[in-house]
Amino acid sequence: MGKIAFVFPGQGSQTAGMGKELYESHEQAKRIFDEADKKLSFPLTQLIFNGPQEELTKTTNAQPALLTVSTAILEVLKEAGIHPDFTAGHSLGEYSALVASGAIDYSDAVFAVRKRGEFMEAAVPNGQGSMSAVLGMDREKLASVTESVAREGQAVQLANINCPGQIVISGTAEGVQKAGELAKEQGAKRVIPLEVSGPFHSVLMQPAADKFKDTLESIHISEANVPVISNVTANSMTSPHEIKERLIEQLYSPVLWEDSVRTMLDSGVDTFIEIGPGKVLSGLIKKIDRQAKVYAISDQETLEKTLEALRGKTE
């Protein structure tokens, strides 16, 4: 059997009611939810289970909510004796990956991502920044489009390199619109504006990164027990110093998701387990390598199915 990677979704996967079944049936999952409420002095669990969805989707709430649900599932998986050889997460998901690798304690991570959400929300006034997904264009061509718009004075850049033919751009509302129009003129199949509250993973997030440094200084980061693939470099990281540096850079740098998956494949990973709500990463991984075995665990049913499949492979 090849190696296993645990991968964790980022913002956008949140839905009211996520994780409730696990909370009710697993003591270790319940403990994670209870710890979130205590650490944040705020009834996050109630918001996760009951919504409203609009409130849950706010960056400051979505980030700790997703981390909490992913970590609750992770705890149940660990109890079942499944352990990864690598971990990785998409943007916010990198914090779940760091918890899974033993580099950051869950209670420190939930505090950090709540702050991260606050700083990201505050960095750019609502409506001044935006993001769009560009489909059917390769990254070199799209990079030259964004660079030409940026030279005209509107910040815009590649933000998420998700899989072949799916790249997200981010920047000022005007910059993203111009780059989207230019991309279509130059052969992009579609440009889809995203429902986000800010221009994440762009230079406009630099003020958030500057403020976030103090938060990261206040929490303890340990040597990772399992290599974490960094969004910023697509290489593995284990040292506390590097982890801290990369988490700051991650706020204004592109998420190299396609490259990160290829790094894991090249390192012998043949099985990816997506831990958290939705199946976004599973879909991206399949587009990067059709041969990869991909499982997505978001609730009790998918947990049981995955455990059954993995036990079948190891016996």
For the stretch 184-203, pLDDT in tens is: 999 999 999 998 888 999 99
What percent of the chain has pLDDT above 70?
Answer: 99
Match domain 129-196 to its CATH number in 3.40.605.10, 3.40.50.410, 3.40.50.300, 3.30.70.250: 3.30.70.250
- For residue 199, which amino acid is it? P
Tell me the average pLDDT across 255-263: 98
**Helix and strand numbers, DSSP H then E, in the chain:** 14, 10
Show the tokens assigned to 159.
Answer: 């933000």
pLDDT of residue 222: 98
Report, at the CATH architecture level, how domain 3-123+204-314 is classified. Answer: 3-Layer(aba) Sandwich (3.40)
Instruction: Note the pLDDT of residue 315.
Output: 47
Cα atoms found within 13 Å of the Cα of residue 304, Cβ hemisphere only: 6
Mean pLDDT, the chain, rounded, equals 96
Active site residues: 91, 201
DSSP letter string, 127-195: TSEEEEEEES--HHHHHHHHHHHHHTT--EEEEEEEETTEEEEEEEHHHHHHHHHHHHHTT-SEEEE--
Of the candidates 198, 93, 91, 201, the one whose C-alpha atom is nearest the C-alpha of residue 146 is 201
Distances in Å between the Cα of 128 and the Cα atoms of 44, 119, 121, 145, 171 are: 29, 16, 12, 20, 9
| pTM reported for the whole predicted model | 0.96
Beta bridge mates, 134: 167, 191
Neighbours of 230 (CB within 10 A): 25
- For 122-166, write each residue's pLDDT tens digit: 999 888 999 999 999 999 999 999 999 999 999 999 999 999 999
Residue 220's contacts (CB-CB under 8 Å, 6 or more residues apart) are 104, 105, 108
* Residue 126: predicted pLDDT: 80
pLDDT (mean) for 227-231: 98
Domain ranges of the chain: 3-123+204-314, 129-196
